Structure 1
């Protein structure tokens, strides 16, 4: 398995994975498929090149096929946020998710961030259990999911 940062040339892969994630789990992310699909190719190029607030990592399986992604972004509150975490259904349980999260945590620490946060719906038992295994703990901070305001997500944190 290969994990690496995206480059500008990866924009079609980033777009493909992000749109697949939003179709697969439409209520797990802060954006909708429709809003992401409306982005221009230039916007996807900028995201892949890191010319925006977020940086992205891609996972590739042994055959070189893209199997997952994760993003990281500094919030307005100067918190490093793990975002856009997703692995193709056929790759779940393969170690791709753990490799992606661990690589993004290492990236955050290398950037000087000792605390990483994420939002997850506690009812998403598989994701919650996964993040706990990676060292995240729930905080008493709740908010509405931007893309689906009727869903409440809870913040989790990881400390280096």
Structure 2
């Protein structure tokens, strides 16, 4: 069983652990670099947690099995909240963890008065596309090339909140 809880600044080491693991195991789906984030000091991780609500998925033994953060993406409407750094450990995928992480973002966005939640997905990330569509996100046809690899393209997906 996995429990989802909001991380606070004192959870910085857990967030660091899951973030670095996500970059080690699935570096091709994130815009960030493992080498760069390995250099971040405690103060950087704490600052991230102060500036972006982040949730972690913990199993019964306290091991972190997933994470997600929410931001107000620059250039997006003020009533949109954006999903970033969504990741689920391979050993617990397809067991509802990703769904639960998206649910907490939706609930937090609604509590802030947001009208929509959005995320960017690379076309080849079939698992994430499947999860997002099943969770109520729809394609927008807003697309762009990845900075790190212009041969790859992402599309923006949006879920309207009620």
TM-score (norm 1): 0.91
Residue 62 of structure 2 aligns to a residue whose secondary structure is coil
- Which residue of structure 2 lines up, in the alignment, with residue 59 of structure 1? 57
RMSD of aligned residue pairs (Cα, Å): 1.4
Deviation string for 1:60-112 (max 9, x for gaps)? 11332211100110012233110000011111122111111111111111111
Provide the rounded CA distance (Å) in 2 between the counterparts of 1:96 and 1:61: 10
The structure-2 alpha-carbon separation of the partners of 1:38 and 1:144, relative to structure 1 and needing over 3 Å to count, comes to: farther
TM-score (norm 2): 0.90
Matches within 5 A, 1:2-151: 2-48=3-49, 50=50, 52=51, 54-77=52-75, 78=78, 79-151=80-152
CA contact (8 A) 1:30 1:148 kept: no
How far is 1:46 from its partner? Answer: 1.7
Provide the rounded CA distance (Å) in 2 between the counterparts of 1:40 and 1:63: 26
How far is 1:124 from its partner? Answer: 1.3
Provide the rounded CA distance (Å) in 2 between the counterparts of 1:69 and 1:8: 15
Unaligned runs of 5+ in 2: none
Length, aligned pairs only: 157
The structure-2 alpha-carbon separation of the partners of 1:27 and 1:144, relative to structure 1 and needing over 3 Å to count, comes to: same
Provide the rounded CA distance (Å) in 1 between the counterparts of 2:64 and 2:88: 9
Provide the rounded CA distance (Å) in 2 between the counterparts of 1:19 and 1:146: 21
Unaligned runs of 5+ in 1: none
Provide the rounded CA distance (Å) in 1 between the counterparts of 2:148 and 2:33: 6
